[in-house]
Amino acid sequence: YFANKVYQGLADFLNENNDMDVVTQKRYNFFLAAKIAAIAKDGGDGGRKPDLEQNCLETMRETMRKEDHLPLNPFGPTGIIGRGLLFKYGSNSAQDNIITRLKRNSDGSIVMRRGRPLMEVLLVRRRQDGVWALPGTFIPGLPPGLKKAFGFKDMPEEGEPDKLSAVARELQNELVATFMKERKHIYSGYMADPRATDNAWVESEVYWLHDSEGIFSDIPLVSFQDIPDPSTPSEAAWVVIHHGLKLGFQHGELIKLVAEAAKSYY
C-alpha cells in the first residue's frame, strides 16, 4: 500500500512536469520502479515483497514496450533504454572466432604443463577500451581484425589496381577459404555485451578453428598500432590459455570450453 501511494504521488509529479522530454521521463519511470522495489523490500508491503518488486518492474517495462513499440531484451533489464551503441534495436547478430594452436618449444616439441599440452589462442586488443577479446564482427565473413592481423588485403574496387600479385591473391583466397571451411560451429546465442540495453542486445555465432597444421600459425602477425581507425584493434597476439586469462564479454568462458574439449591445460 505504501509503495503504491509513493508511486502514485511521483507519477502525478511527472504528469505535472511536462517540460521533461520523453526519454528523461521513461528513464525516471524505470528508476522509480527500482526504488519502489527497494522500499518494498524494507517492509510495509504486507509480506508480499517478491510479488510487489516483480510487478513494479514488469509494469514499467510493459509501459515502455507499449509506448515505444520497441523490442525488449529477453535476457532481462539493463537500466538503459534505446539502442545505445549497438547498430539496431532488437537482436544484433555477431560472429566470434576462436583460433587455437599448440604452444611449441624452439625444437618443435609441444610445451606441456601438468601432463597436458599448452594451447594458445589468437586475441586482439580492443582500441576503444584496451580489453583483450576474440576477433569478432557484426558482418558475415572473416572479421576485419583477423584480416589486418594476418595482413590480408580486401579485393580492390572495380577499376582500381590490386595491391597483391596474382600469386599472393590466390594464396590469400585459399587461406580464407580454408578458414571458413575448417572452422567448427560451437555456440549460438546470447552474448554478454556491455553495449546491451533494454531494447538492443547481441547474439553471436561462435566458431573454433584449431590450427593443427600450422597454416595460420606460420603467418607473422602484422602490427597495426599506428592505424588511427577506432574500429581497428590496437594489436593482436597469440596468448597462452590458462585459468587466469582475463577477457571481455563471455570470451573467457568460451575459451575454457574449447580447452576442455581439446584436453589441453587450463
What are the tens digits of pLDDT across the range 106-121? 998 999 999 999 999 9
Of the chain, the percentage scoring pLDDT greater than 90 comes to 33
Are 59 and 33 in contact by the 8 Å Cβ rule? The answer is yes
Q: What is the pLDDT of residue 214?
A: 85
Q: What DSSP assignment string belongs to 58-77? A: HHHHHHHHHHH-----TT--
Residue 61 has pLDDT above 70, yes or no: no
Rg (CA), the chain: 25
Distance CA 223, CA 233 (A): 10
Q: What is the pLDDT of residue 234?
A: 73
Beta bridge pairs of residue 100 = 121, 210
What is the helix, strand, coil percentage profile of the chain, to 5? 35, 20, 45
Are 135 and 124 in contact by the 8 Å Cβ rule? The answer is yes
Distance CA 41, CA 114 (A): 49
Q: Over range 226-245, report the average pLDDT.
A: 78
Q: Over range 179-205, report the average pLDDT.
A: 92
CA 50 distance to own-chain centroid: 32
Q: What is the pLDDT of residue 59?
A: 53
Band of the pLDDT at 69, cuts 50, 70, 90? confident
How much is the pTM? 0.69
Q: What is the pLDDT of residue 233?
A: 67
Q: Report which of 81, 264, 257, 133 is spatially closest to residue 184, judged by C-alpha positions.
A: 257
Band of the pLDDT at 215, cuts 50, 70, 90? confident
Q: What is the pLDDT of residue 57?
A: 53
Query: Cα–Cα–Cα angle for 236, 237, 241, nearest 5°?
Result: 130
Tell me: the pLDDT tens digits for 25-35?
A: 555 555 555 55
Distance CA 238, CA 201 (A): 29
Q: Over range 21-45, report the average pLDDT.
A: 53
**In the block, residue with C-alpha cell 553471436:** 204
Tell me: the pLDDT tens digits for 124-134?
A: 888 777 889 99
